[in-house]
A = this chain, B = another copy of it.
Amino acid sequence: MAVEFWFEFASTYSYPAAMRVEDRAAERGVAVVWRVFLLGPIFRDQGWNDSPFNVYPAKGRYMWRDLERICGAAGLPFRRPAIFPQNGLMAARIACWFAEEPWLPRFVRAVYAANFAEGRDISVPAVLAACLERAGQEAPAILDRAARPEAKAALRARTDEAVRRGLFGAPSFLVGDELFWGNDRLDEAVEWAENALAARPADR
């Protein structure tokens, strides 16, 4: 039983979750399935044309302070981005099309660091190219592949799947059909997967 980690590159609370999920899961012998999706279409269905953290300013002010505390406690560098939310569409097409590649987690973490620690604009191809290189990849072929119609369609299908399976925000974790929402639920989701593993018959 794996934990599915559903993330969106513009999502603030996805940052500390993305940086920690692989280590936390490994500590408990749980595999991580990386599942990128887009919040934009989901938020539009809820009547928002912007991040709820911008739509509701009190919530936004709180979130930035809370995120600062969370990153501080986790030892993660954090710098509030000048642009929020950033456009993570191109990054998401890459992360969706190459979801099963062994280098994918390194790329995802590099994009989050660019957005939330380094003040970079993750909609810029050169920034994504640098992230791919940090993950040991040659960028041009991957950027090209991720811009093709089938990669775009794959991300749309993934976002549809997120809605169908009950997701409404990011980060989210799925263990089978059991849904956990928010960076705060990372440990609980991993533990749920660990217990599901332990409860399986001995044919493992």
Contacts and interface: CB of A to CB of B under 8 A. Distances in A.
A56 to B, nearest CB: 6
Number of copies: 2
Interface in A176-193: 179-182, 184, 188
Interface string A50-61: 000000101101
Contact of A168 (B46, B62, B169, B180): B62
Nearest to A60: B168
A182 B182 CA distance: 12
B166 A62 contact: yes
Interface string A143-176: 0000000000000000000010011110000000
A65 B175 CA distance: 14
Given A65-B179, A179-B65, A58 B184 contact: no
Contacts of A184: 182, 184
Contact of A62 (B56, B66, B69, B179): B179
A95 B46 CA distance: 34
A172 to B, nearest CB: 9
Contact of A181 (B62, B179, B188): B62
B166 A61 contact: yes
A166 B64 CA distance: 13
19 contacts: A46-B56, A56-B168, A58-B163, A58-B166, A58-B167, A58-B168, A59-B168, A59-B169, A61-B166, A62-B166, A62-B168, A62-B179, A62-B181, A65-B179, A66-B180, A66-B181, A69-B188, A182-B184, A184-B184
